[in-house]
Amino acid sequence: MNEKKKQEIPMPFKFDDFFTTQEQRDEEAKEHIEEIDISLIDNFKDHPFKVIDNDDMKSLKESIKVSGVLSPVIVREKEDGRYEMISGHRRKYACESLGIDKIKCIIKNLSDDEATIFMVDSNLQREKLLPSEKAFAYKMKYEALKHQRKTPANQHDTEVRQVGAVVRSDDILGEEHGDSGRQVQRFIRLTYLIPELLNMVDNSELKESPSIALTPAVELSYLKPDEQKLLVEFINYNLATPSHAQAIELRNLSQKKLLVEETLDNVMNREKPNQILQFKIKEEKLFKVIPKNIERDKVEDFVLKACEYYSKHIRQKERDSR
């Protein structure tokens, strides 16, 4: 006769609960400070803030050399026994660069959403932030807030503050960080840009070229990735970025499924108000390279068409070489 399989009875408590008091378990759950091997600390997943080895980082390294790490970093323990950095990525990088093996850590007991919100809040206090950093930080916190309140992905998260008053989470986010809810959504739209265009938005803050301002960048975020790549090609070869008005035109063409290389060139080659450049070429140089039968009043049209043809030829060669 086969023995009946014993039915497992679910245990509503951990086995260790037999050997520890509630007071001990509560104490373990509290945050505490430990010195942890840096090799055991992983960066926060999809950390949106850049760690750059610039002058500020050099100053931080010098400070650590002289005085050590003055403020402990903040981590949480992972299920595999390792740790995840919540706040202190720059201090961790500086210590690794200096060959320091251990760092003092405040260990917090946080859920995924709590950790995301804490990470964003602790970094958004920095004075210098690039648009891309702010964009992904806002998006991460916004999604964490929605997840906490179990809001469907296709709906705006809201919070009732008083009788009859419903406040959207983008407004709450903006209040906390000095932006309007509309501005929060503008920044979040930047996360839909391909990296090449997003770098150009950062360039507007870094005073580098080519650069795209926030307002036209928001319009460009509605272009499909392939359309954005086409725009990047144009910018790289023509050293010209779209104005707000041009960005709106490109978005409208995209919505109508009419944005191709020719229509993009037509929009981008249109002169911008107050940005008309004057180029002068000496006649003797010009007439050495154009056919002699071109009438003088048609020279400009010939030169423009020749430049357009050559630009397309270079772009095609670039594509063929990939």
For residue 272, what pLDDT is reported? 62
Residues 118, 137 contacting (CB under 8 angstroms): no
Closest CA to 177 of 130, 254, 241, 121: 121
Q: Give ∠ CA 98-99-103 in degrees, rounded to 5.
A: 90
Residues 232, 224 contacting (CB under 8 angstroms): no
Tell me, which fold does domain 18-110 have in CATH?
A: 3.90.1530
Mean pLDDT of the 269-292 span:
69
Express each pLDDT in 86-130 by its tens digit. 999 999 999 999 999 999 999 999 999 999 999 999 988 876 889
Q: Which residue has the tokens 């850590």?
A: 105
Express each pLDDT in 14-24 by its tens digit. 545 555 555 54
Q: What is the pTM of this model?
A: 0.69
Laid out side by side, the sheet with 73-77 consists of 32-37, 102-107, 73-77, 83-87, 41-42
Q: Which residue has the tokens 């050559």?
A: 310
What lies within 8 Å, CB to CB, of 196 at 6+ separation is 228, 229, 232
Q: Distance between CA 72 and CA 82 in Å, rounded?
A: 17
Give 179's DSSP letter.
-
Q: Distance between CA 171 and CA 184 in Å, rounded?
A: 8
**Domain boundaries, given as residue ranges, for the chain:** 18-110, 111-192, 196-277, 283-320
Residues 188, 197 contacting (CB under 8 angstroms): no
Between 57 and 275, name the one with better pLDDT.
57
Confidence of residue 310 (pLDDT cuts 50, 70, 90): confident
Confidence of residue 302 (pLDDT cuts 50, 70, 90): confident
Express each pLDDT in 215-270 by its tens digit. 999 999 999 999 999 999 999 999 899 999 999 999 999 999 999 999 999 999 98
Q: Distance between CA 146 and CA 149 in Å, rounded?
A: 5
Express each pLDDT in 160-212 by its tens digit. 344 344 557 677 677 777 788 889 999 999 999 999 999 999 999 999 999 99
Give 164's DSSP letter.
T
Q: One-letter amino acid identity for 30?
A: K
Q: Distance between CA 269 and CA 271 in Å, rounded?
A: 6
For residue 20, what pLDDT is reported? 53
According to DSSP, the β-strands at 83-87 and 41-42 are: parallel
Residues in the chain, how many?
322
For residue 167, what pLDDT is reported? 58
